[in-house]
Amino acid sequence: MLEIIITKEWQGKRADAALAALSGESRACVQRWIEQGHVCKSPPSMAVIKARDAVCAGDIFIITPPAPAPSPLTPENIPLEIIFQDRDIAVINKPAGMVVHPAAGNYSGTLVHGLLYHIVDLSGIGGELRPGIVHRLDKMTSGLMAVAKNDEAHRALSAQLADRTCTREYLALTRGSIGQDEGRIDAPIGRHHINRQKMAVTPEGRPAVTDYIVLQRLKNACLLKCKLQTGRTHQIRVHLAHIGHPVLDDPLYGGAPEGARQMLHAWRLEFLHPGEGAPMAFEAPPPEDFMRRLRGLGGTEIPAKIQN
């Protein structure tokens, strides 16, 4: 059971929007719970609400999520590198070429299908027995991802992403020689006006900030460490293309052939454990295809520890 107190900034707003934001659940999930009668005002009224109802500051709502239903997806015995797992979370080193979520054209073989096979103690996310993907990686991006195994862990990790206390760092091979040894790209990102499959820097976009440090200068290329300050779709790829140094072999933003593997790897992940509150840090060295590309450009091995 969840008890949600409406705060001042949600005065007069729709119940589904307010409860989604304050609970950490998706708006669609909250709407479904409201329709099914799992949300009501706290005693003594216990009134059933509608999604469009306006809320007032100080209102208290009780959410009683239904028991999780089995996932409609079939678990698949897909090889996965699970580098950490406990009762609340798992940390995965995703290979390039693996899609995270099932979607059109990828109805099997996804990370979610593999997680359903390998993780046996799921307690339900959003009313369904499924792994909770907290943040995504593009199909052709490799590296670390955090996965929640229950609703409480999902809410806690999502909150850390929202308040920027979760650290995500990437290694990227980029085209050309970047003038500065380090810098910040602060440029809003939104959907491309013409190609709706792409994102772009646009004044109408959402705020997006990427910090970078040049680790190695190569043959008409650089090895960068990029740190996300926000988490927009394709953020690093869009930002580096925006400054004229796209990620190498990027088919969408760098002119590489369709199906190429962009040289981007999520190498470090830091967050507070959602149950215990202890700081946790994970690192995954780049895979061999990334290292071959680096060596081919005259680069050297990446140190086991990269200083901030």
Active-site residues: which are they?
138
H/E stretch holding 272 reads: strand 264-272
Q: How many CB atoms lie within 10 A of CB 288?
A: 8
State the DSSP code for 8: G
Nearest-CA neighbor of 50 among 10, 18, 22, 16?
Answer: 16
- Give the Cα separation of 85 and 65 in Å (integer): 25
d(CA 113, CA 116): 5
Tokens of 266: 């999520």
Structure tokens at 46: 């216990």
The single residue listed with the structure tokens 């959003």 is 126
Determine contact, residues 73/103, Cβ cutoff 8 Å.
no
Q: Which of 274, 3, 38, 250 is nearest to 134 (CA)?
A: 274
Q: Which amino acid is at 128?
A: E
Exposure string (b/e) for 32-61, b if CB count within 10 Å is 16 or more?
bbbeeebbbbeeeeeeebebebebeeebeb
What single string gives the DSSP state of each residue in 23-46?
Answer: H---HHHHHHHHHTT-EEEPTTT-
Q: DSSP labels for 195-220?
A: -TTSEEE-TTSB--EEEEEEEEEETT
Query: Which residue, among 257, 252, 219, has the nearest Cα to 236 in the 3D structure?
Result: 252
Contact status, residue 4 vs residue 49, Cβ threshold 8 Å:
no
